[in-house]
Chains A and B, each alone.
Chain A
Amino acid sequence: NAGVTQTPKFQVLKTGQSMTLQCAQDMNHEYMSWYRQDPGMGLRLIHYSVGAGITDQGEVPNGYNVSRSTTEDFPLRLLSAAPSQTSVYFCASSYSTGDFTEAFFGQGTRLTVV
């Protein structure tokens, strides 16, 4: 089973460049989210979606855009990359947001902005 798939695994960007981090899940999960992981700060929620066509901001949304046109895909766009966005990005999905809900994570995208 593929689960949650993130691409690319590694990326180096120059300041000001834009890019899209891809996330796809094959479990028919309604809830998807993006986190960034930084040393000493744990995982922080960037954006999330409770279903196709519905997105909302998390804890650290500035500089990022998302859209959810299908249940399977939830891309994260960096509009104008900054060194502060150097981080490891994780995509997660779950069946819902309530009880009996287990979250599944992708393998991460390691992004460096120079």
Chain B
Amino acid sequence: KQEVTQIPAALSVPEGENLVLNCSFTDSAIYNLQWFRQDPGKGLTSLLLIQSSQREQTSGRLNASLDKSSGRSTLYIAASQPGDSATYLCAARAVRLTFGEGTQLTVNP
């Protein structure tokens, strides 16, 4: 059974800092890994999708990497802003999506 773990569970940083969110998964037989953002009381917004054959994907200030062999993915956020405050979820897809519990990020002005 696939298990997905996200570390840290919560993170508070000052504005402007570069930060890394970690995601690990136990079964490397995945099709892809997807990062989501969730604002309080809202749904999930897709940020980045990394295919199993890819090493990384970039969108603006966000960069996600994938190392299938070690069962790890990281989400790098450059020059963080207060508007980045949210919960970030990663999900590994075999046939089904398996989610981590998320990292709650607070960026302080």
Tell me the A residues contacting B by CB distance below 8 Å: 33, 35, 40-43, 45, 48, 58, 90, 92, 97-108, 110
How far, in angstroms, from A43 to B31 measured CA to CA in the complex? 19
Contact A40 B43 (CB under 8 A): no
Query: Interface extent on B, as a size class?
Result: 20 to 34
Contact A107 B100 (CB under 8 A): no
Q: Which residue of A lies closest to B100 (CB)?
A: A42
Shortest distance from the beta carbon of B10 to any chain A beta carbon, whole Å = 13
Is B66 engaged at the interface, CB distance under 8 Å to the other chain?
no
Is B81 engaged at the interface, CB distance under 8 Å to the other chain?
no
Contact A100 B96 (CB under 8 A): no
Q: How many A-B residue pairs have CB under 8 A?
A: 56
How far, in angstroms, from A103 to B52 measured CA to CA in the complex? 15
Shortest distance from the beta carbon of B12 to any chain A beta carbon, whole Å = 19
Contact A41 B101 (CB under 8 A): yes
Q: Which residues of A contact B25 (CB under 8 A)?
A: none
Contact A107 B46 (CB under 8 A): no
Contact A90 B101 (CB under 8 A): no
Shortest distance from the beta carbon of A56 to any chain B beta carbon, whole Å = 10
Is B32 engaged at the interface, CB distance under 8 Å to the other chain?
yes
Contact A107 B42 (CB under 8 A): yes
Contact A105 B101 (CB under 8 A): no
Shortest distance from the beta carbon of B88 to any chain A beta carbon, whole Å = 13
Shortest distance from the beta carbon of A94 to any chain B beta carbon, whole Å = 8
Q: Which residues of B contact A105 (CB under 8 A)?
A: 36, 43-46
How far, in angstroms, from A108 to B41 measured CA to CA in the complex? 8
Q: Which residue of A lies closest to B53 (CB)?
A: A99
Q: Which residue of B lies closest to A98 (CB)?
A: B31
Shortest distance from the beta carbon of B22 to any chain A beta carbon, whole Å = 15
Q: Which residue of B lies closest to A110 (CB)?
A: B41
A-B contact pairs, 10 of them (CB 8 A): A40-B101, A41-B101, A43-B91, A45-B96, A90-B44, A92-B44, A99-B51, A99-B53, A103-B97, A106-B43
How far, in angstroms, from A57 to B49 measured CA to CA in the complex? 25
Is B23 engaged at the interface, CB distance under 8 Å to the other chain?
no
Shortest distance from the beta carbon of B39 to any chain A beta carbon, whole Å = 11
